[in-house]
């Protein structure tokens, strides 16, 4: 929201009325239940003078705004922060974001979780990305935002996921938790069941969202700190044929030492990680092997299968004694 300019003519009731009218007009159309006001007074004033102004001028401004806006000031949980800066003769507004918690399932392969910026130009646009700045037409984030933003009358949204899957991996089972942050919304209390319905009816071949509910900002930190095991279903291509007896022998739990995979070295530190994995099921499926694997949070499954040229030990390739490659991968369960 753009700051408002005002003309300073001394601290008086006329200035208050001027500010109240300008602020009320700027906030027109915003659904608000509370606000707070902060004032930055001129630097040349003494601390004592500033204290007096906060006590008298700021208190009077708050009272008049309560009358004009028809809502109360709340300094613990305000929907809008109004910052009056007398050094610049500007009023700044901070509209509190709305946070929506939910889960999503992803049915389409090739769909990233968030906007997939070009790694060469970092979103600026270049030959590699055809000057689009992105490497995919849409993402889970963009699909949900496409329906949410018009309802909330907001300019943008930010997606916070509890981890992420690769863009070619489907997210099934109980779905992945997320928080959608709606930035500078004019509406704050839309029917989330209606939002669910709109997304699921129109995007059912790509994603499904459910359990949508309002939450606070702390939920993001909670999701980011979660370390949940995942259960994956992988279709694996092997260089040499593998017998059913061999597949049975590799079932069980493993302690895996995994060095940062080559494919993510450009954005991850090159370190070794110790992770747990369990091969739960392994069976032939046509010319491929279907394998169910439970893995500790942070284990790169594709590299656990391939071995990543020895950077992951043990690996399915090592255990089976033949080169293996993951052809398809699905997340089928998340275990908190």
- Percentage of residues of the chain with pLDDT beyond 90: 80
Determine the 3-state secondary structure of 82 from DSSP: strand
pLDDT of amino acid 15? 87
Evaluate if residue 53 carries a pLDDT over 90: no
Which domains does the chain show, CATH number per domain? 4-95 (3.30.2300.10), 98-225 (3.30.70.2510), 229-335 (3.30.70.3190)
What does each C-alpha distance from 30 to 5, 77, 151, 227, 299 come to in angstroms?
Answer: 20, 16, 13, 38, 45
Half-sphere exposure of 245 (CA within 13 A, CB side): 0
Q: What is the dihedral of CA 251, 312, 324, 136, to 10 degrees?
A: 120
pLDDT of amino acid 118? 77
Could you check whether the bond before residue 97 is cis, i.e. omega within 30 degrees of 0?
no
- The token pair at 3 is 């700051």
User: Which residues fall within 8 angstroms of residue 105, CB to CB, at 6 or more apart?
Assistant: 171, 172, 173, 175, 176, 207, 208, 210
pLDDT of amino acid 9? 58
The CA R_g of the chain, rounded to the nearest whole Å, is: 27
Evaluate if residue 11 carries a pLDDT over 70: no
Asked if residue 101 lies in contact with residue 211, where contact means CB atoms within 8 angstroms, the answer is yes
Distance spanning both ends of the chain, measured CA to CA: 39
Asked if residue 306 lies in contact with residue 325, where contact means CB atoms within 8 angstroms, the answer is yes
Out of 44-48, 155-159, 252-256, pick the least confident.
Answer: 44-48
Evaluate if residue 8 carries a pLDDT over 70: no
pLDDT of amino acid 182? 98
pLDDT digits (tens, 9 = 90+) for 157-194: 999 999 999 999 999 999 999 999 999 999 999 999 99
- Other Cβ atoms less than 10 A from the Cβ of 53: the count is 17
pLDDT of amino acid 117? 76
pLDDT of amino acid 268? 87
- The token pair at 288 is 């491929």
- HEC secondary structure over 254-300: EEEEEECCHHHCCCCCCCEEEEEEEEEEEEEECCEEEEEEEECCCCC
* C-alpha–C-alpha distance, residues 235 and 173, integer Å: 17
Strands (E), the chain: 4-5, 34-40, 72-73, 80-85, 90-95, 98-106, 156-161, 170-183, 207-215, 229-238, 252-259, 272-285, 288-295, 312-313, 324-335
Identified catalytic residue from 74, 79, 166, 218: 166
pLDDT digits (tens, 9 = 90+) for 103-123: 999 999 999 999 877 777 877
Q: What is the mean pLDDT of the chain?
A: 93
Say whether 166 is catalytic. yes
pLDDT digits (tens, 9 = 90+) for 71-85: 999 999 999 999 999
* C-alpha–C-alpha distance, residues 95 and 27, integer Å: 10
Four-residue CA torsion sign, 126, 128, 131, 134? negative
User: Which residues fall within 8 angstroms of residue 86, CB to CB, at 6 or more apart?
Assistant: 8, 39, 40, 41, 42
* C-alpha–C-alpha distance, residues 135 and 270, integer Å: 25
Evaluate if residue 267 carries a pLDDT over 70: yes
Average pLDDT over residues 36-48: 92
């Amino acid at each position: 929201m753009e700051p408002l300019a005002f003309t300073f003519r001394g601290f008086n009731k006329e200035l208050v009325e001027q500010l109240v009218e300008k602020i009320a007009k700027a906030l027109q159309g915003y659904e608000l239940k509370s606000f707070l006001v902060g004032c930055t007074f001129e630097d040349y004033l003494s601390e004592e003078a500033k204290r007096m102004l906060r006590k008298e001028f700021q208190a009077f401004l708050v009272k008049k705004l309560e009358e004009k806006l028809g809502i109360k000031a709340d300094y613990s949980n305000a929907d809008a922060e109004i910052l009056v800066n007398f050094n610049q003769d500007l009023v700044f507004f901070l509209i509190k974001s709305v946070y929506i918690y939910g889960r999503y399932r992803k049915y389409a392969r090739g769909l990233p979780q968030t906007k997939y910026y070009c790694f060469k130009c970092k979103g600026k646009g270049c030959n590699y990305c055809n000057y689009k700045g992105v490497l995919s037409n849409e993402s889970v984030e963009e699909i949900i935002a496409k329906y949410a933003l018009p309802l909330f009358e907001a300019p943008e949204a930010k997606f916070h996921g509890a981890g992420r899957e690769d863009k070619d991996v489907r997210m099934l089972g109980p779905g992945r938790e997320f928080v959608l942050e709606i930035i500078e919304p004019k509406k704050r209390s839309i029917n989330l069941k209606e939002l669910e319905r709109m997304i699921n009816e129109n995007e059912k071949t790509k994603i499904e969202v459910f359990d949508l509910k309002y939450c606070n900002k702390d939920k993001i930190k909670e999701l980011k700190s979660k370390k949940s095991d995942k259960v994956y279903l992988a279709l694996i291509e092997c260089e040499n044929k593998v017998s059913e007896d061999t597949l049975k022998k590799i079932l069980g739990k493993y302690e895996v030492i995994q060095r940062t995979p080559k494919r993510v070295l450009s954005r991850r530190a090159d370190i070794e990680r110790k992770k747990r994995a369990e091969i739960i099921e392994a069976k032939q499926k046509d010319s491929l092997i279907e394998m169910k694997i439970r893995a500790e949070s942070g284990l790169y499954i594709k590299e656990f299968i391939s071995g990543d040229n020895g950077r992951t030990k043990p690996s399915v390739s090592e255990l089976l004694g033949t080169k293996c490659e993951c052809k398809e991968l699905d997340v089928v369960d998340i275990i908190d």
